[in-house]
Amino acid sequence: MDWQRRELLLGGVSTLALAGVAMEAAASAAGTGAVGSAAAGADVLKGPYLDLSTPRGNMLAVARMTADLDLTKQKTGWYNGFVSGVRAGEPVKDLFGFAGFGMARLLPHESGTGYRKVLREVGIYYDLKSGEPLEEFLNPYTSEKVRVVPVANDPFNTTIQEYFPPPPNYGGLNATTPPPKVPLQLPWKKQGDYITLERHIHLFYKNALQPDKWPRESAGPIAQVSEFFAHHVKVEDLQNEKITSLDYTGTWNRITPWLPWMLMGQRPGLCQYACFMGTTANLEEILSRNVLDYCEKNYKKYFDAPTEWSTDRSLSSLEHYAKDQKPAPVK
């Protein structure tokens, strides 16, 4: 479920990747509209192994949450929840479920400091009553049967070092002047036996689906998406140097325009994702057999993390949609 959007999401939801979900999310959370509560006091963040008031402590904590310091192992992040439709002046509608997973692996950074994280993730929309993966959906707003397009992001890679990574480029659509290096300091908080991390990521960049070419799929010339992540990790695990990969639980929420395959065009309204997320050693304990069988049939390679750093562009699901799909005929 990696950092601005999936990069801080820490797990691949990503993610959402999603738009992926993913379970992981974020390009530089600093200076890109990411908002979080102030970090806990330095005394609370210091421990026998990690000092979360230092960039190195933050780097190691993120690497252990999003992947595994044992470079021979991959890490599984998952998410599961539902997507609602929101329009002014009427009740919110729960539209469909959304579940998926991301597989991540660390590679040593060529500079000798930090890591390259390689990830692929898949997300499946499913019927809320039957739990069956959806290949078609009767849009309640238009009464039109539409073809459902799952989320499949491969790769979605990032760098984990003692500085925030630059914002994702999204194939040149989010091109910005490289920001100055900012030491990696995240807003950790201690709550009882847990350390929590909360981040809000607000994206605003040129839409890969421009209305002139994609009149039925595009919500407008600008992609405006917000994602909200909350992670919870046991303090004793965080400070145990023998644990190379940290389990976490948390939530992932997303506010986004109508999904392109819903063929809503620029009608007013939006989609609201609400998902639990976490890590697991066994997806069968978390996700339904229906979803896993569908992924094994259609997305088998997504059960294994990449093994090499790729220079391929890391794209969100909007850019993948523009690359892989064709505009629907105008009615």
Q: What is the pLDDT of residues 64-118, one digit of tens each?
A: 999 999 999 999 999 999 999 999 999 999 999 999 999 999 999 999 999 999 9
- The pTM of this model reads 0.88
The pLDDT of residue 198 is 95
Decide if 329 is inside a domain.
no
Decide if 330 is inside a domain.
no
Counting as low any pLDDT under 50, the low residues of the chain are 1-37
The pLDDT of residue 71 is 97
Number of domains in the chain: 1
Q: Evaluate whether 5 touches 19 at the Cβ level (below 8 Å).
A: yes
The pLDDT of residue 172 is 61
Decide if 181 is inside a domain.
yes
Write out the residue range of the structural domain in which residue 273 sits. Answer: 4-324
The pLDDT of residue 314 is 76
Give the whole-angstrom CA distance, residue 268 versus residue 123. Answer: 25
Decide if 331 is inside a domain.
no
Nearest to 65 by CA among 104, 112, 31: 104
Decide if 28 is inside a domain.
yes
Decide if 179 is inside a domain.
yes
Q: What are the distances in angstroms from CA 120 to CA 76, 91, 100, 161, 312? A: 10, 36, 11, 20, 12
Decide if 34 is inside a domain.
yes
The pLDDT of residue 37 is 45
The pLDDT of residue 174 is 58
Give the whole-angstrom CA distance, residue 61 versus residue 202. Answer: 23
